[in-house]
Amino acid sequence: MITSLRMIHWNLSGGIVHRGLLLPFIDALEVPNVALSVHDGFSGLSWSAGRERGSTIVPDTLDNVLEQYRQRDVGFNLLFSNHLLGPDDLANAYGNRLLEKLHDERNGVVVCDGVLADYVRERYPKYQLIRSVINAYLDEVIYRPSDAIVRYFQEKVQTYDRVVVPSELNLRFDVLDQLDKSKLEFLVNNNCFWHCPFAIKHYTQIANGFKKPAGGSPTRICLAQAATSGPERDRTLDHLRKHDALLDETGKPIKQIKFGQRITFKKSWMKPAEVELMQREGCLHFKLQGRDCAASAFEEALRLFVVEYT
């Protein structure tokens, strides 16, 4: 465990869907120098994206849940990260009710660049505005030279309170040491494989799904593994190999694929010791995803990252 005077911030997934787990967990947490916020998306809302399903909750219950977090001084971040929104989408009654209801300095809104980000800045200035990691994947920033990546994030932190960084850059201190780490947020357990070549396709399918009346998408990320048995097999494997994302039986990157060789895909989960290293190097904001997994699995991740290595 780290003993530090720096306050470490954890943004925890499933503020609605995992509320039965999170509220008692927060009450029992006895780790010093840790601040918490939670986040979630909402079904039936075109502004949602990121994961294939949003949470469903009746208004009276939502009011009670939000009050429970407020009493514990835990902020709530609205996941409004659909990158396909246009001006007509800003009239969405459900989204605007949520913005009105949660408009408070402790709370935040996760958005992509565009009309909704500008709308929240202008009409709801109390919110912490958080730039979704979706934008960085859409811009394919992880494939740029180091100096270009630095310039990219230096620009983005000027207009957002926090900017979420792609998992592939989590330990890139050649980049991170040139940035204001206090304005960056790091996802420690991304459920997409390392350097997935289908990130843009995934996020776009999910965003399109939420814009339909049903308000969701059948897409689950990551789809890269399924692609290795289809027509895109060779391209997918070659891309992953180039980025050290194909591992042999010993866990080492495969430089040349051999016929019949057993391979595994590198996951984007960080090791707890790597999270500890990032904290020692001045990284303060971390995100733990898991709103689309079983409560038992998410509880295990909470204890592994938030309790044992904070």
Residue 188, token pair as written in the block: 């420690």
Q: What letter would DSSP give residue 304?
A: I
Count CB-CB contacts under 10 A for residue 111: 30
Residue 234 falls inside a structural domain: no
Residue 251 falls inside a structural domain: no
Give dist(CA 4, CA 15) in Å, integer: 27
Count CB-CB contacts under 10 A for residue 299: 15
Give dist(CA 95, CA 174) in Å, integer: 39
Sign of CA dihedral 11, 40, 70, 116: positive
Give dist(CA 310, CA 7) in Å, integer: 10
Give dist(CA 20, CA 273) in Å, integer: 29
Residue 275 falls inside a structural domain: yes
pTM of the model: 0.90
Residue 151 falls inside a structural domain: yes
Task: Split the chain (310 residues) into runs of 10 and give each run's mean pLDDT.
Answer: 68 93 92 90 84 65 92 95 95 94 95 97 97 96 97 97 97 97 95 88 88 59 60 83 87 83 85 92 94 86 78
* CATH code for the domain of 125: 3.20.20
User: What is the distance of C-alpha 114 from the center of its chain?
Assistant: 18
Residue 43 falls inside a structural domain: yes
Helix (H) and strand (E) counts in the chain: 12, 12
Closest CA to 309 of 283, 282, 275: 275
pLDDT reported for residue 2: 47
**Residue ranges making up the domain that contains 278:** 8-220+267-307
pLDDT digits (tens, 9 = 90+) for 65-112: 999 999 999 999 999 999 999 999 999 999 999 999 999 999 999 999
Give dist(CA 146, CA 234) in Å, integer: 28
- Token pair 């509220």 is found at 23
Residue 296, token pair as written in the block: 């038992």
End-to-end Cα spacing for the chain: 6
Residue 175, token pair as written in the block: 């980049």
Residue 216 falls inside a structural domain: yes
**What are the respective helix, strand and coil percentages of the chain, to the nearest 5?**
40, 15, 45
Residue 3 falls inside a structural domain: no
User: What is the distance of C-alpha 269 from the center of its chain?
Assistant: 12
Burial of 90 (0-12, 13-18, 19+ CB in 10 A): middle
Q: How many domains would you assign to the chain?
A: 1
Residue 229 falls inside a structural domain: no
Give dist(CA 269, CA 98) in Å, integer: 31
- Residue 77, C-beta contacts closer than 8 angstroms, at least 6 positions apart: 11, 15, 37, 38, 39, 107, 108, 109, 110, 128, 130
pLDDT reported for residue 265: 85
